[in-house]
């Protein structure tokens, strides 16, 4: 069912840290519409526990933070981008404070700085162990006070609007947007369309991400011809709570930064066999180590041990984690916590420049859905919220003087001869199959044979989904499944092309680095497809 045509200056897809910060800054010179597919707080940002990495301590330096980032990124970071983000860190922390975000203070009043894996210094500002939730709260409160911003919750983007369909260059001028409440597809045009749609974690059956993380931005951008880059580098967080009653619950890396130790069920430590930094090694190393130990032993989990630390400190530093575990019968001050790796963060994404502009005119990407060059082959902990702040600010400045590009007549959404589905089980079964074979074949450790199996399966499923998409009227589940399947295809294809092991991409067939670190770029050149 086609709905009205709405016009704005800036259309933002997503309501996490990047989208909200962009909206606040862009509202100073234009009208902003934010669409978010559930409630505005249903974001990866809201689930972030650790904090924002920034150089604030007297014993720290920009160069140390840069070198830590480059080392974690395993040769694939863009150094100028790393330097730009790191040097902007202190100012972005100050902006958070100005917006009204609470950040923990040490005795004496200075900001309390935590430490996480692969950081050589304490440099992570935080609010207890729910930093993302606090940032989300502060940004939403600021947005609510800004008259130039409209937030449309329960709205999910279907496809981006492209001038290519009107005989012009492939420029973006908005999106078709499905109103989940009414079932109406609205047409929203904009001078700039900003994808801040978050990650792709739901491509995998085990993930720390919320249900909204289905890779929508990456899929939509690719369909209209924008380049995507390095999608094989999926970060698996080493420590997600393993419990039958727990779902997607992250055990913050800050727990290891504060002295937590990884152990086997026997109580033995094991990380010393994998890296000199032991439990504080970078995420790719720790996740692979845990995966290897579980495969060797057949055990269900390893354990994160905090019991040797002061109980009062542990409860005060990690109150949300302590409460959640206690509800499940685990006292983290007395019992080691069972944990396993799970899909956590997409280091690749939609290729952008230093202002967040994609390779498609009028289309910007910021936050986790974007590839900026900051993270390389493995993201350094707590650099993601920093990146979201830095690039959202730069994008808001870049869109100020963009010309409005749109056809004289905009075609509204048409369902054609599509009918209501009477076979929705197809959607749920395809969703489940994709997520399971992605975990089995395109997970922490890969082989050519596994990737080929995944490629064959995803092509069959994508054809089924395309057929279903043509025949039946859209639903939010179908929109997400279509995007999920395309993102899975792109991850598989990117992984198949990388004939080496680097960072988060570890393949048994090519265990070594290639002499030169190169990005893997994919771009659709023969017209939009599903």
Residues paired with 261 in a beta bridge: 305
Which residues fall within 8 angstroms of residue 303, CB to CB, at 6 or more apart? 262, 263, 264, 265, 336, 337, 338, 339
263 is catalytic: no
φ and ψ of 346, to 5 deg: -95, 115
As given in the structure block, the two tokens for residue 45 are: 């940002």
- SS3 of 445, please? strand
Q: From CA 271, how far away is CA 247, in angstroms rounded?
A: 26
Q: Is 511 left (phi over 0), alpha (psi -120 to 50) or beta?
A: alpha
Query: How far apart are the two ends of the chain, measured CA to CA in Å?
Result: 20
- Torsion sign over Cα 383, 389, 392, 393: negative
CB 319 within 8 A of CB 183: no
Q: From CA 491, how far away is CA 430, in angstroms rounded?
A: 17
Q: Which of 137, 306, 304 is nearest to 237 (CA)?
A: 304
Cα–Cα distance list, 380 to 55, 370, 396 (Å): 14, 16, 25
Q: From CA 164, how far away is CA 264, in angstroms rounded?
A: 56
Q: How far is C-alpha 271 from the chain's CA centre? A: 27
Active-site annotation holder among 123, 256, 283, 498: 283
Residues paired with 156 in a beta bridge: 178
Q: From CA 385, how far away is CA 20, in angstroms rounded?
A: 12
Active site residues: 283
């Amino acid at each position: 069912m086609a709905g009205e045509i709405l016009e704005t200056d800036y259309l933002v897809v997503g309501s996490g840290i990047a989208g909200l910060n962009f909206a606040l800054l862009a509202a100073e010179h234009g009208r902003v519409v934010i669409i978010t597919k559930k409630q505005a707080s249903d974001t990866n940002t809201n689930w972030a526990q650790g904090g924002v990495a920034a150089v604030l301590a007297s014993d720290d330096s920009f160069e140390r933070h840069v070198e830590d980032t480059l080392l974690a990124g395993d040769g694939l970071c863009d150094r100028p981008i790393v330097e730009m983000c790191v040097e902007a860190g202190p100012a972005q922390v100050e902006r958070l404070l100005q917006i009204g975000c609470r950040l923990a203070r040490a005795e004496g009043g200075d900001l309390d700085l935590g430490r996480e894996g692969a950081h050589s210094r304490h440099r992570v500002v935080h609010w207890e162990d729910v930093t993302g939730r606090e940032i989300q709260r502060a940004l939403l409160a600021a947005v609510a006070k800004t008259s130039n911003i409209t937030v449309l919750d329960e709205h999910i983007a279907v496809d981006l609007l492209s001038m290519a369909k009107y005989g012009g260059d492939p420029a973006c001028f908005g999106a078709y947007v499905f109103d989940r409440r009414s079932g109406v597809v609205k047409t929203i045009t904009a001078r700039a369309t900003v994808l801040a749609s978050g990650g792709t974690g739901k491509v995998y059956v085990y993930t720390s991400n919320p249900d909204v993380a289905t890779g929508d931005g990456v899929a939509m951008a690719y369909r209209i011809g924008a380049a995507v880059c390095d999608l094989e580098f999926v970060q698996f967080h080493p420590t997600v709570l393993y419990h039958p009653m727990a779902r997607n619950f992250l055990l913050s890396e800050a727990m290891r930064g504060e002295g937590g130790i990884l152990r086997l069920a026997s109580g033995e430590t094991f990380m010393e066999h994998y890296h000199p930094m032991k439990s504080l090694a970078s995420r790719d190393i720790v996740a692979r180590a845990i995966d290897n130990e579980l495969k060797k032993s057949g055990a269900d989990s390893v354990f994160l041990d905090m019991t040797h630390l002061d109980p009062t400190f542990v409860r005060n530093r990690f109150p949300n984690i302590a409460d959640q575990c206690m509800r499940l019968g685990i006292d983290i001050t007395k019992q080691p916590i069972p944990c396993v790796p799970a899909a956590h963060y997409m280091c690749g994404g939609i290729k952008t420049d230093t202002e967040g502009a994609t390779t498609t005119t009028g289309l910007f990407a910021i936050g986790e859905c974007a590839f900026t060059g900051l993270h390389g082959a493995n993201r350094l902990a707590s650099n993601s919220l920093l990146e979201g702040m830095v690039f959202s600010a730069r994008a808001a400045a870049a869109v100020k003087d963009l010309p409005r590009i749109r056809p004289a007549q905009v075609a509204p959404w048409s369902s054609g001869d599509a009918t209501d589905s009477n076979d929705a089980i197809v959607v749920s079964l395809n969703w489940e199959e994709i997520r399971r074979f992605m975990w089995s074949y395109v997970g922490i450790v890969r082989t050519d044979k596994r990737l080929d199996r995944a490629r064959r399966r995803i092509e069959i499923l994508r054809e089924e989904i395309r057929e279903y998409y043509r025949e039946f009227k859209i639903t939010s589940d179908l929109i997400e499944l279509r995007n999920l399947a395309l993102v899975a295809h792109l991850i598989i294809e990117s992984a198949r092309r990388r004939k080496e092991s680097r960072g988060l991409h570890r393949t048994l067939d090519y265990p070594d680095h290639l002499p030169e670190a190169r990005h893997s770029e994919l771009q659709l050149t023969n017209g939009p497809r599903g």
